[in-house]
Structure 1
Amino acid sequence: MNAASKVFKMEMMFKERDYWTLNKMLEYRAQTHGDKIFLQYKEESPLTFKYVHEITNKIANGLSGLGIKKGDNVLVFLPNCLEFIYTWFALSKIGAVQVPVNTAYKGYFLDHISNNSMAKIMVVDQEFTDRVKNSEDNLKYLEKIIISGLDKSDKSRSIPSRFTISDYKSLYNNPSGTPVVEVSYKDNAAIMYTSGTTGPSKGVALAHAWMHVMAERMIAMFHITKEDTYLLYLPLFHGNAQAMIVMTCLISTARVVIYEKFSASGWVDMIRKSNASLTNLVGVMMDAVFRQAEKNDDNMNNLRGINAYPCPSAIVESFKKRFGVTQMLEAYGMTETGLITLMPFGDYRADSCGKIAGDFVEAIIADPETDEELPVGHVGELLVRPKIPWTLNSGYYKMPDKTTEAYRNAWFHTGDGLKVDQDGYYYFVDRIKDALRKGGENISSFEVEKMINDHPAVAESAVVAVKSESCGGEDEVKACIVLNVDHNLTYDGVLSWCDDKLPRFCVPRYIEFVEALPKTPTEKVMKGKIRDQGVTLATYDRVAAGYKLKEEIKRDALKKQ
């Protein structure tokens, strides 16, 4: 594109809508590049496009045999593994809708996503069946579970008794013919849950067109070709890994190498072992990698580009030099919208997330109170709308009020504060909405407060963000807690309660017991005032105190083995 342009303009590989469904694209690539390597899990044997097409046909036919049909929502509760991709692809082939579940979810969080999606079937790894067992009486619609890695002799994992149980392995024993199901690019491909602010997490309905166009933007930004290898360690239950990496490689015929999770200390080894030319870093990952002890051979790899967001200007040049990376490109997007801004290839503007993807969306920076457009350089809420139908979200599933609230005055409201300069470069400033982000995960203060308030000793609480000391624009979670009269509660008591009921990234780092929360005359908690106070002398810091969560203890034990 022309670097002087104020928008990011691009050519799509596939303009024909007929190719905008995953099932059609996989079938096409199995025909055009059948023997080319597509997927690989760690150092295991690589898999071709043809193999992936045929094995996912088997699984698709097996899922159909279990009663799954077009339009059905299916929970996918799996770690990063080949089975996740097989299941996702297979569901697309029969027109069903994947509902990926965050692998840290348990209790209320798992109950909510299951009940709101109204899914009758869940594909789950045996590692997580004890959580399903603990919630089985609360899962109103779930009838069947398909267990991956099923080992009935493993007594350490509970198997739910209320549901019909199937072994995932049995799905492979089905015909490899392509299912005959008409799937449109307008049909929902996924419902991905994202943090709420004044209520529970919302299920974002995403059409096949959203997935395809999101991937096309990545291909254009990075100039991705069949010669590239994309390293994936981000969670597959997020749109980043699915649309920006897997779908991107499916369309461009690049290779994907999958690891279960990100490791700052093991990042260089993963880059080398996978022979990766591209990868993504989100949140504090870039800073975490940079903080590792420097080695003389850190630049001995084949990396040519990293999609990093944010891409902190304080370390970007040193990072590139140290690891031998030529392109560090930043973008801005969210589950509801896909990528909205992208940094043009070969371009760089310190702390900018790039230019508007002008072929696909319109965008303005607006006053969040009036929706009136603001002058250049002013901070306001980013509002967007699509130029191509079905390429923004299709609404919040079973939440019409939230959909109406977000789509106001013919614009989708991102809830994020940005500004734009005279040259068309956008800059993320802060979240306008009351949400937090930690470890690449959005956190709903509402949901964390709900769990804390359920403790019998707690009268009320307020959860706010405290900026992390690491580069990356992420938050630490602080909880201010008011106790009931004549009740006592220790910091350890709060943390133990939260550790049992919350995903690890939601557990507060900072806790402060207060006599009362600051409120307006209408009894609304003044969270801005609490945020401004930050960490005080009365604030407990679990990290400084050496308190370890259960998963941290487990991780430390595995490291010693």
Structure 2
Amino acid sequence: MVREYTGTVPNFPRDEWSLATVLRAHAASRPHATVLVCPDEEAQWTYAEALADAEAIAGSWYAAGARAGDRVLVMAANSSQFVRSWFGTAVGGLVEVPINTAYEGEFLRHQTETVRPRWAVVDDVHAERFVAIAEHARGIERFWVVDTGQADKAIALLRANGWRAEPWEALLEGERLVLPAPSPTSLASIFFTSGTTGPSKGVAMPHSQMYFFGQEVVWLTRLTADDTYLTTTPLFHGNAQFMAAYPAIVAGARVVVRRKFSASRWIDHVRDDAVTVTNFVGVMMDFVWKQKPRWDDADNRLRCVYAAPTASSILLAFMERFGVESFVDAFGLTETSAPILSPYGEIRPPGAAGLLASEWFEARLVDPDTDREVPVGEVGELVVRYKHPWTCSLGYYNMPEKTVEAWRNLWFHTGDALRRDEQGWYYFVDRYKDALRRRGENISSYEVEQAILQHPAVRECAVIGVPAGVEAGRTR
């Protein structure tokens, strides 16, 4: 008998699938409940406070001349300013565009030119990068600068190069703007995903998909309003934003956002913030496991870890050592949400990612050259089709040819090689195209090659990934 992942009931009706609606619902029913905790800032916000800040930020953008649908580039490390800026775009009907903080030069130019943002929120340390690509970033009308110790210098530099710039805190001075919640079908965010044979592509995610991705993690982790979800991965990645912070908000829980992951202090962070759910990406699970055991490792409230992928060879010992009730996993892409989920509390076959969420998706494993389905047990490319509208991406922003190519034959082609066993478990095997993954982050080999080729001493180059030598470090 082929098993499937079923029994999925959304927390909110489908015509209310937007962050603005969810925030306002919790702010009305549970105004004093905590939604956001930032231990590195020694600060936290209730649902009512977070909504008030979001509406003030939206008011400042509209006072500056923003219009619904404008893109807001956000290039910042994890912080409350990042989260509240995201909330501001959500209630203001603007489009959030999170940018990897490692990007500069050609990487930053490509993404800036692709989305053509009118507004930008950046950490002060990134100001020089925009000056370096100034001719390609003139469409940005104003910067709001997050102070990490060099704000005055960064603001002066941006102004000297022709931009309007001011401290991020000025956004909080706006008059609270209460607009109707954006339509669930309208564009919410553009997340860039690595390219293999070309530049990285901006995945256009409607509000409905952002909500649905978060809702899937609520199902996956059995998240409730009594939970606390810790995320330590960068907010410019979906793993932290719509697979950790957003699920917590859907459930009415609280999210703890730390600036970065620390293997040596991970269990301290879990304990200090009374964390009940958290996530790992790539080798994070292995890094934590290799820390020297402590007598009180299991003295915590942690009940569930979402690890993608799960290091099955240390799974049971890890659960016993840290007192974890369940490990869960999923397989998905920014473009498709997660068509494959693992049942809570169940020990999966080694290497299995999960079962098909058949109430929401169709999936096939096909020959990548012919799109013909391969027999059960054989490796094929995962292709996905959704059963309900607006639960997947709108396509690649300003890249219509790439959109058509990926969605050919009316199926989204993931480029991932998987196999399925007779019981219905899916196993990730490899990528069909060249790809790099470093510490859980997908990297475009093409874009790295283009950057290297700009050096006058380089005539040709090829960037090739090598195995990490760690179980959970493989490409996924």
What's the TM-score bracket when you normalise by the shorter of the two chains?
over 0.9
Q: Which segments of 5 or more consecutive residues in structure 2 lack a partner in the other structure?
A: none
Give the TM-score normalised by structure 1: 0.81
Residue 436 of structure 1 corresponds to which residue in structure 2?
A: 436
Distance across 2 between alignment mates of 1:332 and 1:68 = 37
In 2, distance between residues paired with 1:257 and 1:5?
38
Give 1:179 deviation, angstroms: 2.3
Q: Deviations over 1:165-185 (max 9, x none)?
A: 122211211223x42245100
Could you say what secondary structure the match of 1:70 adopts? Answer: coil
Q: For the structure 1 residues 314 and 200, does the alpha-carbon distance in structure 2 shift closer, same or farther, using more than 3 Å as the test?
A: same
CA distance in 2, matches of 1:474, 1:353: 13
Say whether residues 1:136 and 2:134 are aligned partners: yes
Q: Contact 1:127/1:157 (CA < 8 Å) preserved in 2?
A: no
Secondary structure of the 2:111 match is: helix
- Whether contact under 8 Å (1:366, 1:380) holds in the other structure is yes
> How far apart are the structure 1 equivalents of 2:400 and 2:46?
42
Q: Which has the higher Rg, Structure 1 or Structure 2?
A: 1
Which residue of 1 is the match for residue 251 of structure 2? Answer: 252
CA contact (8 A) 1:130 1:157 kept: no
The residue matched to 2:471 in structure 1 has which SS? Answer: coil
The aligned runs of 1:88-167 (5 Å cut-off) are 88-149=86-147, 155=153, 159-160=157-158, 161-167=161-167
Match of 1:396 in 2: 396
Three-state SS of the structure 1 residue aligned to 2:57 is: helix
- C-alpha spacing 1:155/1:310, structure 2 compared with 1 (3 Å): same
User: Secondary structure of the residue that 1:242 maps to in structure 2?
Assistant: helix
| Partner Cα distance (1:162, 1:266) in 2 | 43
**TM-score (normalised: structure 2):** 0.95
Structure 2 residue aligned with 1:213:
212
1:232 equivalent to 2:237? Answer no
Question: Letter of the aligned partner of 2:85 in structure 1?
Answer: T
Tell me if the contact between 1:115 and 1:140 (Cα under 8 Å) persists in the aligned partners: no
| CA deviation after TM superposition for structure 1 residue 156, in Å | 8.2
Deviations 1:122-157 (A, max 9, x none): 111112212222222332522321112287785588
CA contact (8 A) 1:10 1:220 kept: no
Q: Find the aligned partners of 2:151 and 2:138 in 1 and give their Cα distance.
A: 28
**Equivalent-residue separation in structure 1 for 2:155 and 2:144 (angstroms):** 15
Give the secondary structure class of the aligned counterpart of 2:35.
Answer: strand
Does residue 459 in structure 1 map to residue 456 in structure 2? Answer: no
Question: Distance in 2 between the 1:87 and 1:369 partners?
Answer: 43
Q: Which residue of 1 aligns with 2:240?
A: 241
Query: Alignment partner for residue 79 of structure 1, among 71, 77, 80?
Result: 77
Unaligned 5+ segments in structure 1 are 476-561
1:327 Cα deviation after fit: 0.5
Does structure 2 retain, via aligned residues, the 8 Å contact 1:150–1:167?
Answer: no
Counterpart in the other structure of 2:59: 61
For residues 294 and 427 of structure 1, the distance between their equivalents in structure 2, rounded to whole angstroms, comes to: 31
Task: Give 1:301 deviation, angstroms.
Answer: 1.3
The 8 Å contact of residues 281 and 307 in structure 1, kept in 2 or not, is answered as yes
Q: Is the 8 A contact 2:300 2:323 kept in 1?
A: yes
* Cα distance change on mapping 1:173 and 1:142 into 2, 3 Å: closer
Q: Which residue number in structure 2 is paired with residue 363 of structure 1?
A: 363
- Name the structure, 1 or 2, with higher relative contact order (CA <8 Å, separation 6+): 2
Q: Quote the RMSD (CA, aligned, Å).
A: 1.7
The Cα of 1:12 is off from its aligned counterpart by 2.3
- Residue 17 in structure 1 maps to residue 9 in structure 2: no
User: Does the residue aligned with 1:13 lie in a helix, a strand or coil?
Assistant: coil
Whether 1:41 and 2:38 are equivalent positions in the alignment is yes
Q: In structure 2, how many angstroms separate the alpha carbons of the residues matched to 1:453 and 1:228?
A: 49
Residues 89-117 of structure 1 show CA distances to partners (whole Å, capped at 9, x for unaligned) of: 11111111000011111111111111110
* Residues in 2 aligned to 1:247 and 1:153: alpha-carbon distance in whole angstroms: 29
CA-to-partner distance for each residue in 1:288-321, whole Å, 9 max, x for gaps? 1111122222222111010001112111111111
- 1:427 equivalent in structure 2: 427
Cα 1:470–1:153 shift into 2, 3 Å: closer
Task: Compare 406-415 and 326-335 and name the one that shifted more.
Answer: 326-335
Q: Which runs of 4+ in 1 moved over 6 A?
A: 150-153
Separation of aligned partners in 2, 1:397 and 1:412: 16
Question: Secondary structure, in 3 states, of the residue corresponding to 1:373?
Answer: coil
1:519-549 C-alpha deviation (Å, 9 max, x unpaired): xxxxxxxxxxxxxxxxxxxxxxxxxxxxxxx
Contact 1:283 1:473 in 2 (8 A): yes
The answer as to whether partners of 1:18 and 1:24 remain within 8 angstroms in 2 is: no
Residue 58 of structure 1 deviates from its aligned partner by 0.8
SS of residue matched to 1:102? coil
Percent identity of paired positions between Structure 1 and Structure 2: 40
CA shift in 2, pair 1:251/1:405, >3 Å: same
Check 1:346–1:150 CA distance in 2 against 1; reply closer, same or farther (3 A cut).
closer
Moved more, 138-147 or 421-430: 138-147
Give the aligned partner of residue 553 of structure 1.
none
- 8 Å CA contact 2:205, 2:393 repeated in 1: yes
Contact 1:7 1:358 in 2 (8 A): yes
Structure 1 residues 153 and 5: CA distance shift in structure 2, 3 A? closer
Q: Distance in 2 between matches of 1:152 and 1:429?
A: 45
Q: Is the 8 A contact 2:17 2:211 kept in 1?
A: yes
Query: Deviation per CA, 1:71-102, whole angstroms, max 9, x where unpaired?
Result: 11110111111111111111111111000011
Q: CA 1:155 to 1:28, structure 2 compared with 1: closer, same or farther past 3 Å?
A: closer
* Aligned residue runs from structure 1 range 112-511, under 5 A: 112-149=110-147, 155=153, 159-160=157-158, 161-176=161-176, 178-181=177-180, 183-349=182-348, 350-474=350-474
Change in 2 beyond 3 A, CA 1:165/1:150: farther
Q: Distance in 1 between matches of 2:59 and 2:151?
A: 28
Task: Report the Cα distance in structure 2 between the residues aligned to 1:231 and 1:396, rounded to whole angstroms.
Answer: 30
- The answer on 1:29 being equivalent to 2:34 is no
Secondary structure at the counterpart of residue 363 of structure 1: strand
Equivalents in 1 of 2:339, 2:188: separation in Å? 20
Contact 1:382 1:418 in 2 (8 A): yes
Structure 1 residues 493-514: Cα deviation after superposition (integer angstroms, max 9, x where no partner): xxxxxxxxxxxxxxxxxxxxxx
Residue 42 of structure 1 aligns to which amino acid in structure 2? P
